[in-house]
Structure 1
Protein backbone atom coordinates (compact mmCIF):
# COMPACT_ATOMS: atom_id res chain seq x y z
CA UNK A 1 0.00 0.00 0.00
CA UNK A 2 1.35 3.42 -0.93
CA UNK A 3 1.98 5.96 1.80
CA UNK A 4 -0.99 8.09 2.83
CA UNK A 5 -0.43 11.37 4.62
CA UNK A 6 -2.62 12.00 7.67
CA UNK A 7 -3.26 15.67 8.39
CA UNK A 8 -4.68 16.39 11.82
CA UNK A 9 -6.46 19.76 11.87
CA UNK A 10 -5.96 20.94 15.46
CA UNK A 11 -6.46 23.98 17.64
CA UNK A 12 -4.36 24.77 20.69
CA UNK A 13 -6.56 23.82 23.67
CA UNK A 14 -6.73 27.18 25.41
CA UNK A 15 -9.46 27.51 28.07
CA UNK A 16 -12.42 29.42 26.72
CA UNK A 17 -11.37 28.91 23.08
CA UNK A 18 -12.01 25.19 22.52
CA UNK A 19 -14.95 22.86 23.08
CA UNK A 20 -17.09 25.88 23.90
CA UNK A 21 -20.34 23.90 23.67
CA UNK A 22 -19.03 21.69 26.49
CA UNK A 23 -18.22 24.60 28.81
CA UNK A 24 -21.67 24.53 30.50
CA UNK A 25 -20.98 20.89 31.50
CA UNK A 26 -17.23 20.96 32.13
CA UNK A 27 -16.25 24.60 32.65
CA UNK A 28 -13.60 26.37 30.56
CA UNK A 29 -10.66 24.52 32.15
CA UNK A 30 -12.38 21.14 31.96
CA UNK A 31 -13.35 21.60 28.32
CA UNK A 32 -9.77 22.57 27.46
CA UNK A 33 -8.43 19.57 29.38
CA UNK A 34 -10.73 17.25 27.44
CA UNK A 35 -9.66 18.89 24.17
CA UNK A 36 -6.01 18.27 25.10
CA UNK A 37 -6.67 14.60 25.89
CA UNK A 38 -8.59 14.06 22.68
CA UNK A 39 -5.89 15.75 20.62
CA UNK A 40 -3.20 13.55 22.15
CA UNK A 41 -5.35 10.44 21.70
CA UNK A 42 -5.98 11.25 18.04
CA UNK A 43 -2.31 11.95 17.38
CA UNK A 44 -1.30 8.67 19.05
CA UNK A 45 -3.75 6.72 16.89
CA UNK A 46 -2.57 8.47 13.72
CA UNK A 47 1.03 7.60 14.50
CA UNK A 48 0.16 4.02 15.45
CA UNK A 49 -1.64 3.55 12.13
CA UNK A 50 1.78 3.80 10.44
CA UNK A 51 0.35 4.49 7.00
CA UNK A 52 2.55 7.48 6.16
CA UNK A 53 3.64 10.89 7.46
CA UNK A 54 1.53 12.52 10.17
CA UNK A 55 1.13 16.28 10.05
CA UNK A 56 -0.25 18.48 12.81
CA UNK A 57 -1.77 21.46 11.01
CA UNK A 58 -2.38 23.81 13.90
CA UNK A 59 -3.75 27.15 14.95
CA UNK A 60 -3.10 29.77 15.97
CA UNK A 61 0.70 29.32 16.06
CA UNK A 62 2.86 26.20 15.60
CA UNK A 63 5.68 27.98 17.47
CA UNK A 64 3.56 28.19 20.66
CA UNK A 65 4.96 26.51 23.77
CA UNK A 66 2.09 24.00 23.78
CA UNK A 67 3.21 22.37 20.53
CA UNK A 68 6.80 22.07 21.76
CA UNK A 69 5.84 19.70 24.58
CA UNK A 70 7.19 16.14 24.45
CA UNK A 71 4.83 13.88 22.56
CA UNK A 72 3.42 16.56 20.26
CA UNK A 73 5.59 18.53 17.85
CA UNK A 74 8.47 16.08 18.18
CA UNK A 75 6.33 13.19 16.91
CA UNK A 76 4.67 14.82 13.90
CA UNK A 77 5.32 17.41 11.22
CA UNK A 78 4.11 20.80 12.46
CA UNK A 79 2.47 23.22 10.05
CA UNK A 80 0.32 26.32 10.34
CA UNK A 81 -3.31 26.47 9.26
CA UNK A 82 -4.27 28.92 6.55
CA UNK A 83 -6.67 31.75 7.29
CA UNK A 84 -10.37 31.71 6.54
CA UNK A 85 -13.12 29.31 7.52
CA UNK A 86 -12.68 25.61 8.23
CA UNK A 87 -13.25 24.73 4.60
CA UNK A 88 -10.49 27.02 3.37
CA UNK A 89 -8.08 25.73 6.00
CA UNK A 90 -8.81 22.12 5.09
CA UNK A 91 -8.59 22.84 1.38
CA UNK A 92 -5.19 24.49 1.66
CA UNK A 93 -3.79 21.60 3.70
CA UNK A 94 -5.23 18.94 1.40
CA UNK A 95 -4.12 20.60 -1.82
CA UNK A 96 -0.56 21.03 -0.61
CA UNK A 97 -0.28 17.35 0.33
CA UNK A 98 -1.87 16.16 -2.90
CA UNK A 99 0.42 18.40 -4.94
CA UNK A 100 3.31 16.56 -3.31
CA UNK A 101 2.01 13.35 -4.85
CA UNK A 102 0.52 11.40 -1.95
CA UNK A 103 -3.06 10.55 -1.00
CA UNK A 104 -4.24 12.51 2.02
CA UNK A 105 -6.54 11.85 4.95
CA UNK A 106 -7.88 14.84 6.86
CA UNK A 107 -9.07 14.34 10.42
CA UNK A 108 -9.98 16.48 13.41
CA UNK A 109 -9.65 15.78 17.12
CA UNK A 110 -13.33 15.34 18.05
CA UNK A 111 -13.78 11.63 17.28
CA UNK A 112 -12.07 9.08 19.57
CA UNK A 113 -13.54 6.31 17.37
CA UNK A 114 -10.83 7.11 14.78
CA UNK A 115 -8.55 4.34 15.98
CA UNK A 116 -5.35 3.23 14.30
CA UNK A 117 -7.21 0.24 12.86
CA UNK A 118 -9.94 2.48 11.45
CA UNK A 119 -7.37 4.77 9.86
CA UNK A 120 -5.65 1.78 8.26
CA UNK A 121 -8.99 0.53 6.90
CA UNK A 122 -9.79 3.92 5.36
CA UNK A 123 -6.32 4.21 3.83
CA UNK A 124 -6.84 0.82 2.18
CA UNK A 125 -10.21 1.96 0.83
CA UNK A 126 -8.59 5.10 -0.54
CA UNK A 127 -6.26 2.99 -2.67
CA UNK A 128 -9.29 1.94 -4.75
CA UNK A 129 -11.53 5.02 -4.49
CA UNK A 130 -11.22 8.71 -5.28
CA UNK A 131 -12.36 9.65 -1.78
CA UNK A 132 -13.26 8.10 1.54
CA UNK A 133 -15.28 9.44 4.44
CA UNK A 134 -16.13 8.58 8.04
CA UNK A 135 -19.49 10.22 8.72
CA UNK A 136 -20.55 10.97 12.28
CA UNK A 137 -23.96 10.61 13.89
CA UNK A 138 -24.66 14.35 13.96
CA UNK A 139 -24.45 14.67 10.16
CA UNK A 140 -20.86 15.83 9.82
CA UNK A 141 -17.76 13.78 9.14
CA UNK A 142 -14.66 12.95 11.17
CA UNK A 143 -12.45 11.92 8.25
CA UNK A 144 -12.17 12.83 4.60
CA UNK A 145 -9.62 11.09 2.41
CA UNK A 146 -8.73 12.21 -1.11
CA UNK A 147 -6.70 10.95 -4.05
CA UNK A 148 -7.15 14.25 -5.90
CA UNK A 149 -8.33 17.77 -5.20
CA UNK A 150 -11.44 19.74 -6.03
CA UNK A 151 -12.28 23.01 -4.27
CA UNK A 152 -16.04 22.40 -4.35
CA UNK A 153 -15.62 19.85 -1.57
CA UNK A 154 -14.68 22.65 0.82
CA UNK A 155 -16.42 25.81 -0.36
CA UNK A 156 -19.77 27.21 0.79
CA UNK A 157 -20.48 24.35 3.20
CA UNK A 158 -22.37 25.11 6.44
CA UNK A 159 -19.75 23.69 8.79
CA UNK A 160 -20.87 22.36 12.19
CA UNK A 161 -24.33 21.52 10.89
CA UNK A 162 -26.13 18.25 10.14
CA UNK A 163 -25.84 18.92 6.38
CA UNK A 164 -22.06 18.63 6.00
CA UNK A 165 -21.69 14.95 5.12
CA UNK A 166 -24.69 14.91 2.80
CA UNK A 167 -23.52 17.99 0.89
CA UNK A 168 -20.07 16.42 0.55
CA UNK A 169 -21.57 13.18 -0.77
CA UNK A 170 -23.61 15.08 -3.36
CA UNK A 171 -20.60 17.07 -4.53
CA UNK A 172 -18.48 13.93 -4.83
CA UNK A 173 -21.27 12.32 -6.87
CA UNK A 174 -21.46 15.40 -9.12
CA UNK A 175 -17.74 15.03 -9.78
CA UNK A 176 -18.24 11.37 -10.68
CA UNK A 177 -15.79 10.32 -7.97
CA UNK A 178 -15.92 6.92 -6.27
CA UNK A 179 -16.55 7.24 -2.53
CA UNK A 180 -15.96 4.69 0.23
CA UNK A 181 -17.70 5.28 3.57
CA UNK A 182 -17.42 3.76 7.02
CA UNK A 183 -20.34 3.17 9.34
CA UNK A 184 -21.28 6.34 11.25
CA UNK A 185 -18.98 7.14 14.17
CA UNK A 186 -19.52 9.23 17.29
CA UNK A 187 -17.84 12.55 17.94
CA UNK A 188 -17.82 14.73 21.05
CA UNK A 189 -19.28 18.20 20.60
CA UNK A 190 -22.26 18.55 22.94
CA UNK A 191 -22.83 17.78 26.65
CA UNK A 192 -25.08 14.87 25.60
CA UNK A 193 -22.06 13.24 23.93
CA UNK A 194 -20.20 12.92 27.24
CA UNK A 195 -22.24 9.94 28.42
CA UNK A 196 -21.18 7.83 25.44
CA UNK A 197 -17.61 9.07 25.82
CA UNK A 198 -17.64 7.84 29.42
CA UNK A 199 -18.84 4.42 28.24
CA UNK A 200 -16.56 4.00 25.22
CA UNK A 201 -13.45 5.99 26.21
CA UNK A 202 -13.46 6.54 29.99
CA UNK A 203 -9.71 7.22 29.94
CA UNK A 204 -10.40 10.51 28.14
CA UNK A 205 -12.89 11.86 30.62
CA UNK A 206 -11.92 14.79 32.82
CA UNK A 207 -11.75 13.80 36.49
Structure 2
Protein backbone atom coordinates (compact mmCIF):
# COMPACT_ATOMS: atom_id res chain seq x y z
CA UNK A 1 0.00 0.00 0.00
CA UNK A 2 1.24 3.49 -0.85
CA UNK A 3 2.36 5.68 2.03
CA UNK A 4 1.61 8.79 -0.04
CA UNK A 5 -1.84 10.17 -0.78
CA UNK A 6 -2.81 12.87 -3.26
CA UNK A 7 -6.18 14.47 -2.57
CA UNK A 8 -7.87 16.40 -5.37
CA UNK A 9 -10.59 18.92 -4.54
CA UNK A 10 -13.09 19.59 -7.31
CA UNK A 11 -16.79 19.93 -7.94
CA UNK A 12 -19.24 18.42 -10.37
CA UNK A 13 -19.32 20.67 -13.49
CA UNK A 14 -22.92 21.83 -13.20
CA UNK A 15 -23.69 25.05 -15.11
CA UNK A 16 -24.30 27.94 -12.75
CA UNK A 17 -22.41 26.30 -9.87
CA UNK A 18 -18.93 25.68 -11.33
CA UNK A 19 -16.38 28.46 -11.77
CA UNK A 20 -18.96 31.09 -10.86
CA UNK A 21 -16.44 33.95 -10.96
CA UNK A 22 -15.88 33.19 -14.65
CA UNK A 23 -19.58 33.26 -15.58
CA UNK A 24 -19.52 36.98 -16.54
CA UNK A 25 -16.87 36.16 -19.16
CA UNK A 26 -17.89 32.67 -20.28
CA UNK A 27 -21.55 32.20 -19.34
CA UNK A 28 -22.82 29.41 -17.12
CA UNK A 29 -22.22 26.61 -19.65
CA UNK A 30 -18.83 27.95 -20.70
CA UNK A 31 -17.62 28.23 -17.12
CA UNK A 32 -18.80 24.68 -16.36
CA UNK A 33 -17.14 23.37 -19.52
CA UNK A 34 -13.85 25.01 -18.58
CA UNK A 35 -14.05 23.54 -15.09
CA UNK A 36 -14.62 20.11 -16.62
CA UNK A 37 -11.58 20.53 -18.88
CA UNK A 38 -9.36 21.80 -16.05
CA UNK A 39 -10.32 18.89 -13.82
CA UNK A 40 -9.69 16.31 -16.53
CA UNK A 41 -6.38 17.96 -17.41
CA UNK A 42 -5.28 17.97 -13.75
CA UNK A 43 -6.17 14.30 -13.39
CA UNK A 44 -4.10 13.48 -16.48
CA UNK A 45 -1.11 15.02 -14.66
CA UNK A 46 -2.03 12.97 -11.59
CA UNK A 47 -1.90 9.80 -13.70
CA UNK A 48 1.59 10.82 -14.82
CA UNK A 49 2.61 11.11 -11.17
CA UNK A 50 1.20 7.65 -10.44
CA UNK A 51 3.33 6.30 -13.27
CA UNK A 52 6.43 7.61 -11.50
CA UNK A 53 5.74 6.80 -7.84
CA UNK A 54 3.20 4.69 -5.91
CA UNK A 55 0.62 7.27 -4.89
CA UNK A 56 -2.97 6.69 -3.80
CA UNK A 57 -5.43 9.28 -5.12
CA UNK A 58 -8.75 10.43 -3.71
CA UNK A 59 -11.09 12.94 -5.37
CA UNK A 60 -13.17 14.96 -2.91
CA UNK A 61 -16.11 16.60 -4.65
CA UNK A 62 -18.91 19.05 -4.01
CA UNK A 63 -22.09 19.26 -6.08
CA UNK A 64 -23.50 16.35 -8.04
CA UNK A 65 -23.40 12.94 -6.35
CA UNK A 66 -21.32 9.79 -6.21
CA UNK A 67 -22.86 8.27 -9.33
CA UNK A 68 -22.45 11.43 -11.42
CA UNK A 69 -18.81 11.73 -10.37
CA UNK A 70 -18.00 8.09 -11.16
CA UNK A 71 -19.81 8.34 -14.50
CA UNK A 72 -17.68 11.39 -15.29
CA UNK A 73 -14.27 10.29 -14.03
CA UNK A 74 -14.58 6.53 -14.35
CA UNK A 75 -13.43 3.85 -11.97
CA UNK A 76 -9.78 4.98 -11.82
CA UNK A 77 -10.34 7.35 -8.94
CA UNK A 78 -11.96 7.02 -5.53
CA UNK A 79 -14.57 9.81 -5.25
CA UNK A 80 -15.74 11.05 -1.86
CA UNK A 81 -18.12 13.93 -1.00
CA UNK A 82 -16.60 16.91 0.77
CA UNK A 83 -18.00 17.61 4.23
CA UNK A 84 -20.10 20.71 4.86
CA UNK A 85 -18.37 23.82 6.13
CA UNK A 86 -15.77 26.32 4.99
CA UNK A 87 -12.72 25.32 2.99
CA UNK A 88 -10.63 24.92 6.13
CA UNK A 89 -13.00 22.37 7.62
CA UNK A 90 -13.12 20.46 4.34
CA UNK A 91 -9.33 20.38 4.10
CA UNK A 92 -8.90 19.16 7.69
CA UNK A 93 -11.52 16.44 7.16
CA UNK A 94 -9.79 15.19 4.01
CA UNK A 95 -6.37 15.14 5.68
CA UNK A 96 -7.87 13.33 8.68
CA UNK A 97 -9.27 10.68 6.37
CA UNK A 98 -5.91 10.09 4.71
CA UNK A 99 -3.86 9.93 7.90
CA UNK A 100 -6.36 7.62 9.60
CA UNK A 101 -5.54 5.12 6.83
CA UNK A 102 -1.84 5.03 7.65
CA UNK A 103 -0.66 7.58 5.09
CA UNK A 104 2.68 9.20 5.96
CA UNK A 105 2.47 12.18 3.60
CA UNK A 106 -0.56 13.78 1.96
CA UNK A 107 -1.06 16.59 -0.54
CA UNK A 108 -4.22 18.50 -1.39
CA UNK A 109 -4.54 20.24 -4.74
CA UNK A 110 -7.36 21.95 -6.61
CA UNK A 111 -8.05 21.72 -10.33
CA UNK A 112 -7.65 25.32 -11.44
CA UNK A 113 -3.86 25.44 -11.86
CA UNK A 114 -3.00 24.08 -15.34
CA UNK A 115 0.75 24.57 -14.83
CA UNK A 116 0.80 22.13 -11.90
CA UNK A 117 2.84 19.24 -13.29
CA UNK A 118 3.58 15.71 -12.13
CA UNK A 119 7.15 16.89 -11.50
CA UNK A 120 6.01 19.60 -9.08
CA UNK A 121 3.70 17.19 -7.26
CA UNK A 122 6.60 14.74 -6.93
CA UNK A 123 8.80 17.54 -5.56
CA UNK A 124 6.06 18.27 -3.01
CA UNK A 125 6.08 14.68 -1.73
CA UNK A 126 9.88 14.78 -1.57
CA UNK A 127 9.63 18.01 0.42
CA UNK A 128 7.56 16.25 3.07
CA UNK A 129 10.47 13.94 3.85
CA UNK A 130 12.30 16.75 5.66
CA UNK A 131 9.56 19.34 6.29
CA UNK A 132 6.31 19.53 8.26
CA UNK A 133 4.54 21.58 5.60
CA UNK A 134 4.81 22.02 1.83
CA UNK A 135 3.14 24.98 0.12
CA UNK A 136 2.72 25.93 -3.51
CA UNK A 137 2.00 29.67 -3.64
CA UNK A 138 -0.56 30.91 -6.15
CA UNK A 139 0.04 34.26 -7.81
CA UNK A 140 -3.27 35.57 -6.44
CA UNK A 141 -2.12 35.22 -2.82
CA UNK A 142 -3.59 31.79 -2.14
CA UNK A 143 -1.96 28.40 -2.57
CA UNK A 144 -2.47 25.72 -5.21
CA UNK A 145 -1.02 22.87 -3.12
CA UNK A 146 -0.61 22.10 0.56
CA UNK A 147 1.15 19.05 1.94
CA UNK A 148 1.42 17.70 5.48
CA UNK A 149 2.85 14.71 7.37
CA UNK A 150 0.14 15.02 10.01
CA UNK A 151 -2.85 17.29 10.54
CA UNK A 152 -2.36 20.72 12.09
CA UNK A 153 -5.94 22.06 12.32
CA UNK A 154 -4.66 25.48 13.47
CA UNK A 155 -3.38 26.13 9.92
CA UNK A 156 -6.94 26.37 8.66
CA UNK A 157 -8.64 28.44 11.36
CA UNK A 158 -9.68 32.05 10.71
CA UNK A 159 -8.16 32.03 7.23
CA UNK A 160 -9.85 34.58 4.90
CA UNK A 161 -10.53 32.03 2.14
CA UNK A 162 -10.82 33.39 -1.37
CA UNK A 163 -8.70 36.47 -0.64
CA UNK A 164 -5.13 37.50 -1.40
CA UNK A 165 -4.20 37.00 2.26
CA UNK A 166 -4.53 33.20 2.43
CA UNK A 167 -0.89 32.32 1.77
CA UNK A 168 0.57 35.00 4.05
CA UNK A 169 -1.80 34.14 6.91
CA UNK A 170 -0.98 30.43 6.57
CA UNK A 171 2.76 31.18 6.69
CA UNK A 172 2.29 33.36 9.77
CA UNK A 173 0.43 30.58 11.60
CA UNK A 174 2.96 27.94 10.55
CA UNK A 175 5.84 30.15 11.69
CA UNK A 176 4.19 30.71 15.07
CA UNK A 177 4.00 26.92 15.43
CA UNK A 178 7.69 26.51 14.44
CA UNK A 179 6.76 24.28 11.53
CA UNK A 180 9.42 23.71 8.88
CA UNK A 181 8.17 24.76 5.44
CA UNK A 182 9.19 23.75 1.90
CA UNK A 183 8.09 26.04 -0.93
CA UNK A 184 7.19 25.12 -4.49
CA UNK A 185 7.36 27.46 -7.52
CA UNK A 186 4.64 30.17 -7.69
CA UNK A 187 1.93 29.32 -10.25
CA UNK A 188 -1.22 30.96 -11.56
CA UNK A 189 -4.75 29.86 -10.70
CA UNK A 190 -7.57 30.30 -13.20
CA UNK A 191 -10.29 31.89 -11.10
CA UNK A 192 -11.22 35.27 -12.59
CA UNK A 193 -11.87 36.62 -16.09
CA UNK A 194 -8.45 38.30 -16.17
CA UNK A 195 -6.82 34.89 -15.61
CA UNK A 196 -8.21 33.47 -18.85
CA UNK A 197 -5.41 35.04 -20.88
CA UNK A 198 -3.06 32.47 -19.36
CA UNK A 199 -4.91 29.52 -20.86
CA UNK A 200 -3.33 28.12 -24.01
CA UNK A 201 -4.61 24.57 -24.45
CA UNK A 202 -8.27 24.90 -23.53
CA UNK A 203 -11.35 25.54 -25.64
CA UNK A 204 -13.28 28.51 -24.31
TM-score, normalization: structure 1? 0.91
Q: Which residue among 200, 203, 206 is the counterpart of 2:201?
A: 203
Give yes or no for the alignment of 1:82 onto 2:90.
Answer: no
1:74-113 matches, within 5 Å, as 74-102=75-103, 103-113=105-115
Compared with structure 1, are the counterparts of its residues 130 and 171 closer, same or farther at alpha carbon in structure 2 (3 Å cutoff)? same
Gaps of 5+ in 2: none
Q: CA RMSD in A?
A: 1.4
Match of 2:16, SS state, is coil
Q: Which residue among 119, 141, 152 is the counterpart of 1:150?
A: 152
Q: Which residue among 36, 58, 70 is the counterpart of 1:55?
A: 58
Match of 1:172, SS state, is helix
Deviation at 1:27, TM superposition (A): 0.7
Q: Distance in 2 between matches of 1:56 and 1:133?
A: 19
Q: What are the Cα deviations for residues 1-33 of structure 1, in whole angstroms up to 9, with x where unaligned?
A: x73200001111110101111111111100000
* Alignment correspondent of 1:65: 68
Gaps of 5+ in 1: none
Q: Which residue among 158, 161, 169 is the counterpart of 1:159?
A: 161
Q: Distance in 2 between matches of 1:73 and 1:84?
A: 27
8 Å CA contact 2:14, 2:64 repeated in 1: no
Equivalent pairs counted in the alignment come to: 199
TM-score, normalization: structure 2? 0.93
Match of 1:96, SS state, is helix
Q: Distance in 1 between matches of 2:89 and 2:147?
A: 16
* Structure 1 residue ranges, 4+ long, deviating more than 4 angstroms after superposition: none
Q: What are the Cα deviations for residues 46-68 of structure 1, in whole angstroms up to 9, with x where unaligned?
A: 12112410111111344232432
* Alignment correspondent of 2:176: 174
